[in-house]
């Protein structure tokens, strides 16, 4: 009798494991998507600073900002350089049915003296 009870518990554990695997996979995908969003925002900030530095020395802010972006983000990027350099990029999607989300960063063109 004790043996039958242990077999039933082992089956219960297998069912619980099977039920948790999709939730775990979803959590991993969500974490990876958030990491991609953070990376896109970080890259936009770096590109905006590169554009501002170029503008401050008389260079082409838009070209410098685009050049500082990774290739994956460069295609759909929008760069403006009025009184501030603003870079907007689209977050890459791991799951195709997720909505497209833009992130942006901007940096002042003012030179700080100090």
Report yes or no on 33 lying in a domain: yes
Give this prediction's pTM. Answer: 0.78
Is 113 inside a domain boundary?
no
Residue 44 lies in a domain: yes
Q: Is residue 14 part of a domain?
A: yes
SS3 108: strand
Q: Which domain holds residue 69?
A: 2-108
pLDDT tens, 46-76?
999 999 999 999 999 999 999 999 999 999 9
For the record, the structure tokens of 37 come out as: 């969003």
Terminal-residue alpha carbon distance, the chain: 83
pLDDT at 114 > cutoff 60: no
Report pLDDT for 40. Answer: 97
Q: Is residue 110 very low, low, confident or very high in pLDDT (cuts 50, 70, 90)?
A: confident
**Residue 67, token pair as written in the block:** 């050049």
User: What is d(CA 19, CA 22) in angstroms, rounded to the nearest whole number?
Assistant: 7
Report which DSSP code applies to 41. Answer: H
Domains held by the chain: number: 1
Q: Do the domain assignments include residue 114?
A: no
The token pair that represents 51 in the structure block: 């554009």
Asked if residue 89 belongs to a domain, the reply is yes
């Amino acid at each position: 009798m004790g043996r039958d009870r242990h077999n039933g518990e082992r089956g219960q554990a297998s069912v619980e494991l099977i039920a948790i695997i999709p939730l775990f996979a979803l959590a991993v995908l969500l974490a990876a998507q958030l990491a991609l969003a953070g990376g896109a925002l970080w890259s936009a900030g770096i590109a905006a600073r590169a554009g501002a530095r170029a503008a401050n020395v008389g260079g082409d802010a838009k070209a410098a900002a685009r050049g500082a972006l990774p290739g994956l983000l460069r295609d759909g990027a929008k760069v403006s350089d009025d009184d501030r350099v603003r870079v907007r990029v689209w977050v890459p999607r791991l799951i195709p049915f997720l909505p497209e989300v833009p992130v942006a960063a901007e940096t002042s063109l003012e030179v700080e003296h100090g």
